[in-house]
Chains A and B, each alone.
Chain A
């Protein structure tokens, strides 16, 4: 799962930072593709976690864009 990753500023991310980026991307993809299939507790908690992880992406300068289309 671990791999090299650079941010917008061409700076290397640490291994632990890369792992968080992967989690964010997987969560975003899951909610985008399967959000409607999830029961309310799973979707809404997933969105709340995604909104929090967006702050990590933003703080790492990974250009996470907007999340309104997913519901966050």
Chain B
């Protein structure tokens, strides 16, 4: 069985009807646990008229109230510091992590017990094994190892798999690149942005990453890992296969869950093949039981049979397509940063970019794309002109200004990139004042 393509053949190839029966069983247990251990959850369930013994099919899931980030944050305000969704005394926890805070300023705080934390690593193992990572691999983790959960779970999964696992924390980018090469790393984990940053650094150091021993890149933390043009660029720079993973501090890295895709407005399920918001129920973390958590991630779910790998789980075609709250309205046109990046990355001459929104003449929304083009021989004027046209064509003729800026002007990122800067002092076209200026 050591040559199995599956980490857990029983789970990964289970007939769909059995997957659903197992999910119902686990859901019933989770409702019972939350109801008995978390007064806050018990009240929500009682108000919705839900008891564990009433859970008989996945349709019953719809009766459980959806949980939001705001609910979580409110719980932290009412019962600081860990909130009202904690099922076990803090003394039983062995790990504390928090969000990186990209959406809100106050981080979400999570606790894990010993078996919860093992489960987090276990979920990563499903993904790593499925992507071809094996005990013989040398895994370099290009990550800052802070209280941000990031690649912590992957690190422990690497050890569990038997990989030689190299913790790449507290190192400058050039040191990381050199160690990857010197140690013969075969797998590298990083954010998509940082994979590109390391490739830039390697070029500056005269290191041929594509000729190195790296065969696989594990990407996480940003939608860019599933943007075809960005993924292609990363794969070319590294001469390696790139695989994207989806996770959240609140949920862990997502493998064995109940995944719903709902219309973000109506909260009704959307059909396979239609875009909607992921709403996730997690089974492994009893410390913080999470049912129907609203992720704000936009996805398109398709049946597992659409892949030939033999797994019966549903898939997210194209990975995470963006976030519900990422969308910006510019002169009446919806602009998604992910869509802009997909177009920008079609131009490999562009090293780094930034989406800049600002208010012109005190009343008009404008959007400009600032780009760095390091190659002095490149036709920068032609590239920016083509990019302006392509962006306009993809956005109902919305005018984008594309400007070349000096090399090194734009910020570089190690974790989650923040390439959108919204400096508008009004929103819309009628001068409605922004709440935060």
Chain A contact residues, CB within 8 Å of chain B = 8-9, 11, 47-48, 50-52, 54-55, 58-61, 63, 65-68, 71-72
The dominant DSSP class at the B interface is helix
Q: How far apart are A67's CB and chain B's nearest CB, in angstroms? A: 5
B10 within 8 A of A: yes
> Does A59 contact B118, Cβ atoms closer than 8 Å?
no
Give the number of A-B contacts (CB < 8 Å). 53
> Does B115 contact A67, Cβ atoms closer than 8 Å?
yes
> Does A55 contact B286, Cβ atoms closer than 8 Å?
no
**Given A50-B115, A52-B118, A59-B10, A71 contacting B21 (CB threshold 8 A):** no
Chain B contact residues, CB within 8 Å of chain A = 8, 10-11, 14, 18, 21-22, 25, 29, 33, 87-88, 92, 113-115, 117-119, 122, 284, 286-287
**Given A71-B92, A72-B115, A8 contacting B286 (CB threshold 8 A):** no
Chain A residue at smallest Cβ distance from B125:
A55
Which residues of chain A have C-beta atoms less than 8 A from B118's C-beta? Answer: 51-52, 54-55
> Does A11 contact B114, Cβ atoms closer than 8 Å?
no
Q: How far apart are B240's CB and chain A's nearest CB, in angstroms? A: 29
**Given A47-B114, A61-B22, A71-B92, A66 contacting B119 (CB threshold 8 A):** no
Which residues of chain A have C-beta atoms less than 8 A from B14's C-beta? Answer: 9
Distance in angstroms between the alpha carbons of A46 and B401 in the assembled complex? 62
Which residues of chain A have C-beta atoms less than 8 A from B117's C-beta? Answer: 51
> Does A59 contact B114, Cβ atoms closer than 8 Å?
no
Distance in angstroms between the alpha carbons of A11 and B51 in the assembled complex? 28
Which residues of chain B have C-beta atoms less than 8 A from A61's C-beta? Answer: 10-11, 22
The dominant DSSP class at the A interface is loop
Chain B residue at smallest Cβ distance from A9:
B18
Chain B residue at smallest Cβ distance from A57:
B115
> Does A68 contact B113, Cβ atoms closer than 8 Å?
yes
Distance in angstroms between the alpha carbons of A65 and B286 in the assembled complex? 9
Which residues of chain A have C-beta atoms less than 8 A from B22's C-beta? Answer: 8-9, 61
Distance in angstroms between the alpha carbons of A47 and B92 in the assembled complex? 12
Chain B residue at smallest Cβ distance from A54:
B115
> Does B88 contact A68, Cβ atoms closer than 8 Å?
yes
Q: How far apart are A53's CB and chain B's nearest CB, in angstroms? A: 9
Which residues of chain B have C-beta atoms less than 8 A from A8's C-beta? Answer: 22, 25
Q: How far apart are A9's CB and chain B's nearest CB, in angstroms? A: 6
Tell me which of B8, B10, B87, B114 contacts A67 (CB under 8 A). B114
User: Can you list 11 residue pairs at the A/B interface with Cβ under 8 Å?
Assistant: A8-B25, A47-B114, A51-B114, A54-B115, A55-B115, A58-B119, A59-B10, A66-B286, A67-B114, A68-B113, A68-B287
